[in-house]
């Protein structure tokens, strides 16, 4: 079974979609990769979901990607006396300190000395997803005095974000380290790292994973934007986490940042996922708003590798309908007469390497000769991702003898992923490519395909071969 679109769909699993039949329905509706949110999942739940996804994979006969999303640090205020919910008035003074005594309308405990030690006068603290905004007027390692700029009701353990402050703490908590090891044991394909502020945050994860999974950095902090190119370089993929970005930065800046990140990732040849509130109203409604349809369409027009559903598929009333709706929007956009010209206009020049030059040439040859498919033979996934970066109109088949590579590539734009036996020789590779193109429904006898690979086989990053081959009747 092949999709009728190039952009991929990530669907988050949760109470509304954790059973095997529900997962299968989501896949049939269009989900390519499943996200498991470790904020709400025990290791037992993780293993059960992975097992069910792999059962569905075996039934449908197509590779399915799995993303384990690590929780990251959760910064919260303490509690209030008698569980009260005081109202902070605009212009009032409010103190956050290291005193564990329950709070009131004038102060509250902040159980994060790393924040208190990093704040400076003028910095903001945003409470409860930005509903309350505080500005620091005095600070010390044990307390900070703020003035309430945007007031409201505050209550126990509401979340705190500090958009102006770089906190000297790594992105991995003890829970994250345990969850990361559990995800590796469960053989997931991707791990997503939350709260990335700097490139160094990725190093610990990379040292632990040792290439066994793809590492996806979630961009949700202003500090990450400032060092975006370095973070992209150390990541295998990026997520535009618009929810937290929209809290910590002015909302009107987020659309431009989304465009910037998509183009930066495409230039680097790294997959990029657009996430958060894409079809938010479908949590409770069987149809989306017109604005949500336009939002999804914009991400597809921009050339994002994947679009993601969160609560819509995890806890909503219409999880299958949400995936099917996203699928229909993507299919319609990619058939629009303006789609190809917009995608082509965003194309960047290839890097000055043999592998990139070969891949760019493959794109041009395939479209000039109107070939039926580009078949990328890849051990590590690099050849296929380079082909994906070019965003060709010609379908791309990514095949590999490594099932882990094939599953990881399910997140990449336009990649129809197939696990196949290793090729022994170049001629064997060409024959396998022709057979696959025919079997997967991309090419008929008499049509031509383009095959790209790295020779000698199994050498990552060595894309150096481009062959045009006829699909013959013997390849049926």
C-alpha distances in Å from residue 341, one per residue of 303, 336, 391, 447: 11, 10, 11, 26
Instruction: Look at residue 1 and tell me if it is in a domain.
Output: no
> Confidence class of residue 154 from pLDDT cuts 50, 70 and 90?
very high
- 103, 126, 161: which is the final residue of a domain? 161
Residue 168's Cβ-count burial label (10 Å; 0-12, 13-18, 19+) is exposed
Q: Is the pLDDT of residue 294 over 90?
A: yes
pLDDT recorded at residue 476? 52
What total number of domains does the chain contain? 3
- 111, 142, 161: which is the final residue of a domain? 161
Same domain, 177 and 310: yes
Q: Is the pLDDT of residue 36 over 80?
A: yes
Q: Which helix (H) or strand (E) holds 422?
A: none
Q: Is the pLDDT of residue 459 over 90?
A: no
Same domain, 151 and 176: no
Cα gap 2→414, rounded to integer Å: 11
User: What CATH number did the domain enclosing 153 receive?
Assistant: 2.40.33.10
Q: CA 6, 260, 13 angle in degrees (round to 5)?
A: 50
Of 386, 365, 371, whose CA–CA distance to 462 is shortest? 386
Cα gap 325→328, rounded to integer Å: 5
Of 35, 34, 29, 21, whose CA–CA distance to 4 is shortest? 29
Instruction: Look at residue 198 and tell me if it is in a domain.
Output: yes
- H-type helices in 37-186, by residue range? 43-60, 113-116, 174-185
**Token pair for 377:** 């033979």
Instruction: Look at residue 342 and tell me if it is in a domain.
Output: no
Query: In this structure, are residues 451 and 412 in contact, taking their beta carbons and an 8 Å threshold?
Result: no
Q: Is the pLDDT of residue 166 over 90?
A: no
Cα gap 66→145, rounded to integer Å: 44
pLDDT recorded at residue 355? 75
Q: Which helix (H) or strand (E) holds 12?
A: strand 8-13
Q: Which helix (H) or strand (E) holds 145?
A: strand 143-150
**Token pair for 450:** 């383009």
122 φ/ψ angles, rounded to the nearest 5 degrees: 100, -20
Query: In this structure, are residues 435 and 475 in contact, taking their beta carbons and an 8 Å threshold?
Result: yes
Cα gap 44→374, rounded to integer Å: 41
Can you tell me the mean pLDDT for 334-363? 85
pLDDT recorded at residue 315? 96
Q: Phi/psi zone of residue 122: left (φ > 0), alpha (ψ -120 to 50 degrees), beta?
A: left
Q: Is the pLDDT of residue 475 over 80?
A: no
Q: Is the pLDDT of residue 31 over 60?
A: yes
Instruction: Look at residue 447 and tell me if it is in a domain.
Output: yes
> Confidence class of residue 356 from pLDDT cuts 50, 70 and 90?
confident
Same domain, 53 and 112: no
Same domain, 288 and 176: yes
User: What CATH number did the domain enclosing 425 receive?
Assistant: 3.40.1380.20
Same domain, 252 and 292: yes
Which range of residues forms the domain containing residue 39?
Answer: 8-73+170-334
Same domain, 257 and 361: no
Place of tokens 């979630």: 218
Query: In this structure, are residues 382 and 277 in contact, taking their beta carbons and an 8 Å threshold?
Result: no
Of 453, 449, 346, 352, whose CA–CA distance to 390 is shortest? 346
Residue 299's Cβ-count burial label (10 Å; 0-12, 13-18, 19+) is buried
pLDDT digits (tens, 9 = 90+) for 6-21: 999 999 999 999 999 9
Catalytic residues: 35, 76, 218, 276
- 306, 334, 362: which is the final residue of a domain? 334
Weakest mean pLDDT among 45-54, 292-301, 373-382, 461-470: 461-470
Of 329 and 356, more confident:
329
Cα gap 428→328, rounded to integer Å: 38
**Token pair for 154:** 């505050």
148 CA to centre of own chain: 35
Of 301, 234, 247, whose CA–CA distance to 276 is shortest? 247
Cα gap 101→262, rounded to integer Å: 46
Q: Is the pLDDT of residue 464 over 80?
A: no
Instruction: Look at residue 2 and tell me if it is in a domain.
Output: no
Instruction: Look at residue 348 and tell me if it is in a domain.
Output: no
Which residues have a Cβ under 8 Å from the Cβ of 365 and sit 6 or more positions away? 371, 450, 466, 468
Cα gap 186→48, rounded to integer Å: 9
Which residues sit opposite 415 in a β-bridge?
Answer: 396
pLDDT recorded at residue 418? 96
Cα gap 427→96, rounded to integer Å: 70
Longest distance between any two alpha carbons in the chain, whole Å: 81
> Confidence class of residue 147 from pLDDT cuts 50, 70 and 90?
very high
Same domain, 184 and 324: yes
Query: In this structure, are residues 356 and 446 in contact, taking their beta carbons and an 8 Å threshold?
Result: no
Same domain, 293 and 420: no
Same domain, 210 and 311: yes
Instruction: Look at residue 22 and tell me if it is in a domain.
Output: yes
Half-sphere exposure of 310 (CA within 13 A, CB side): 17
> Confidence class of residue 167 from pLDDT cuts 50, 70 and 90?
confident
pLDDT recorded at residue 460? 63
Weakest mean pLDDT among 176-185, 306-315, 361-370: 361-370
User: What CATH number did the domain enclosing 221 receive?
Assistant: 3.20.20.60
pLDDT recorded at residue 136? 97
pLDDT digits (tens, 9 = 90+) for 236-261: 999 999 988 998 899 999 999 999 99
Same domain, 174 and 157: no
């Amino acid at each position: 079974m092949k999709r009728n679109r190039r952009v991929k769909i990530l669907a988050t699993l949760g109470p509304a979609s954790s059973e095997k039949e529900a997962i299968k329905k989501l896949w049939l509706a269009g989900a390519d990769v499943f996200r498991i949110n470790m904020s709400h999942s025990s290791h037992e739940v993780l293993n059960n979901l992975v097992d069910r996804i792999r059962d569905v994979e075996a039934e449908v006969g197509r590779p399915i990607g799995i993303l384990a999303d690590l929780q990251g640090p959760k910064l919260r205020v303490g509690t209030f006396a008698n569980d009260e919910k005081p109202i902070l008035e605009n212009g009032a003074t409010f103190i956050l300190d290291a005193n564990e005594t329950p709070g009131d309308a004038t102060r509250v405990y902040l159980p994060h000395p790393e924040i208190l030690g990093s704040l400076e006068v003028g910095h903001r603290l945003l409470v409860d997803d930005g509903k309350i905004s505080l500005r620091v007027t005095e600070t010390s390692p044990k307390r900070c005095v703020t003035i309430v700029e945007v007031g409201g009701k505050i209550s126990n353990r509401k979340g705190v974000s500090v958009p102006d402050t770089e906190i000297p703490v790594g992105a991995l908590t003890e829970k994250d380290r345990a969850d990361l090891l559990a995800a590796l044991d469960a053989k997931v394909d991707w791990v997503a790292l939350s709260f990335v502020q700097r490139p160094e945050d990725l190093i610990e994860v990379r040292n632990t994973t040792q290439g066994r999974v793809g590492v996806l950095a979630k961009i949700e902090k202003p500090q990450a934007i400032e060092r975006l190119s370095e973070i992209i370089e150390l990541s295998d993929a990026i997520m535009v986490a618009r929810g937290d970005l929209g809290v910590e930065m002015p909302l009107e800046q987020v659309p431009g940042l989304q465009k910037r990140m998509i183009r930066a990732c495409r230039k680097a040849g790294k997959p990029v996922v657009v996430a958060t509130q894409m079809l938010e109203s479908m949590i409770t409604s069987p149809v989306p708003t017109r604005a949500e349809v336009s939002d999804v369409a914009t991400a597809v027009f921009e050339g994002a590798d994947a679009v993601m559903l969160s609560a819509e598929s995890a806890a909503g009333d219409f999880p299958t309908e949400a995936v099917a709706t996203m699928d229909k929007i993507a299919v319609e956009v990619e058939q629009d007469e303006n789609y190809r010209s917009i995608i082509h206009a965003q194309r960047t020049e290839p890097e000055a390497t043999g592998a990139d030059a070969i891949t760019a040439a493959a794109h041009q040859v395939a479209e000039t000769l109107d070939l039926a498919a580009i078949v990328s033979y890849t051990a590590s996934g690099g050849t296929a991702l380079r082909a994906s970066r070019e965003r060709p109109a010609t379908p791309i088949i990514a095949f590999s003898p490594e099932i882990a590579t094939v599953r990881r590539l399910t997140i990449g734009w336009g990649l129809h992923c197939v696990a196949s036996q290793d090729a022994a020789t170049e001629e064997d590779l060409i024959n396998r490519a022709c057979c696959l193109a025919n079997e997967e429904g991309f090419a008929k006898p008499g049509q031509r395909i383009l095959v790209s690979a790295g020779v000698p086989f199994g050498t990552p990053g060595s894309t150096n071969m481009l062959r045009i081959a006829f699909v013959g009747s013997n390849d049926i």
